[in-house]
Amino acid sequence: MAGTGQRVMVVKSGGPSAVPEWREHFRVLLPDTELRCWTEPGNLADIGYALVWEPDEGRLAAMPNLRLILSSAVGVEHILADRMLPRHLPILRTVPGEAADQMAEYVAWAVLHLHRGIPLLQEQQARGHWQFHDPPLASARRVGILGLGSMGARCARMLAGIGFRVSGWSRGRKAIADVACHAGQGELPRFLADLDIVVCLLPATPETRGILGTENLARLPRGACLVSAGRGQQVPERDLLAALDAGQLSRAVLDVFENEPLPAESPLWRDPRIIVTPHVASLPSREARARFIADAIRRFEQGEVLPTLYDPALGY
């Protein structure tokens, strides 16, 4: 039974071994909170908050007094996959500033790696071959970002700061200094046609599924490079490999995949044109996420509108 006036939060994120760490962060950040493990939730009627990653189907629906669902990550598709999800409840996307900073570091690394032709230099090193190349300055390289939300906008600013010619594409039109902003389906072909490196940072929605398939990859200039760090379902792997084989794409840096973990038999692992990273582009610490969530819960209880709530009308 929960103590009087105490809020109860159940946690499924990082497994039972992560619970002591979550408990310690919330003890400091939100002291009047009782934190329970997903596997030992006690009386379900006590639970007002659920901090989750991939909740088991039907478990959230069994909590009659749940007020707010907290995604332990930026994306929410792992919660929407629950067919018994209580659809009337708000879902918080956990987006601490650290998450966008980490993503921007990852994307800056990937873009610089491709821009400076590091894969070619690594191939030369493997052969003991000493040869110069002349990469253009960043100011001559066109980098475009699909998705200008908290992740994409931070990446766009960092890449523009390095000196790249940066453009971006989103649903609604954005205004970001030194970034050419495009909006809507109608502007997608022109946006793609003017890029050397395309970076995908879109959320997983029915509209973005397969968005970088054969048709849109064909709109890129021949030999363009891809950085994929949104969600794997946006880049069909068969289409990606076909575009690489045809020379339409020259290289790809992939952090997200149609199936995760990437199966051992996937050809992507061993393709020299591809760099595979295991969904590590942005992994904010539990402390940073707990800080963001504690602040959001306080504001929620004061009746404030939370800016990073999932919007069912938009699907992200």
Ligand X SMILES: NC(=O)c1ccc[n+]([C@@H]2O[C@H](COP(=O)([O-])OP(=O)(O)OC[C@H]3O[C@@H](n4cnc5c(N)ncnc54)[C@H](OP(=O)(O)O)[C@@H]3O)[C@@H](O)[C@H]2O)c1
Site for ligand X, rule CB under 6 A: 74-75, 95, 99, 103, 147-152, 170-172, 201-205, 207-208, 229-231, 255-256, 279, 281-282, 316
Active-site choice (93, 231, 251, 291): 231
The catalytic position among 23, 157, 171, 279 is 279
- Residue 30 or 103 having the CB closest to ligand X: 103
**Residue pair 95/74 in contact by the 8 Å Cβ criterion:** yes
Least distance to ligand X, CB of residue 314, Å = 6
Residue 55 or 284 with smaller CB distance to ligand X: 284
Compare residues 1 and 313 and give the one whose CB is closer to ligand X.
313
Provide the minimum distance between the beta carbon of 73 and ligand X in the complex, in angstroms, as a whole number.
Answer: 7
Closer to ligand X by Cβ: residue 34 or 101 = 101
Residue 97 CB, nearest approach to ligand X (Å): 11
The reply to whether omega before 203 is within 30° of 0 (cis) is: no
Relative to beta strand 274-276, strand 224-228 is unpaired
CB of 285 to ligand X, least distance (A): 13
Query: Is residue 129 flagged as an active site residue?
Result: no
Minimum Å gap between C-beta 2 and ligand X is 32
Of 47 and 104, which CB lies nearer to ligand X in the complex structure?
104
Comparing CB distances to ligand X, the nearer of 38 and 310 is 310
Whose CA is closest to 35, among 293, 26, 44, 43? 26
Which residue number places its CB atom closest to ligand X?
149
Q: What minimum distance in Å lies between the beta carbon of 86 and ligand X?
A: 21
Question: Would you call 231 a catalytic residue per the annotation?
Answer: yes
Cβ–Cβ < 8 Å for 70, 50: yes
Which residues are tagged catalytic? 231, 279
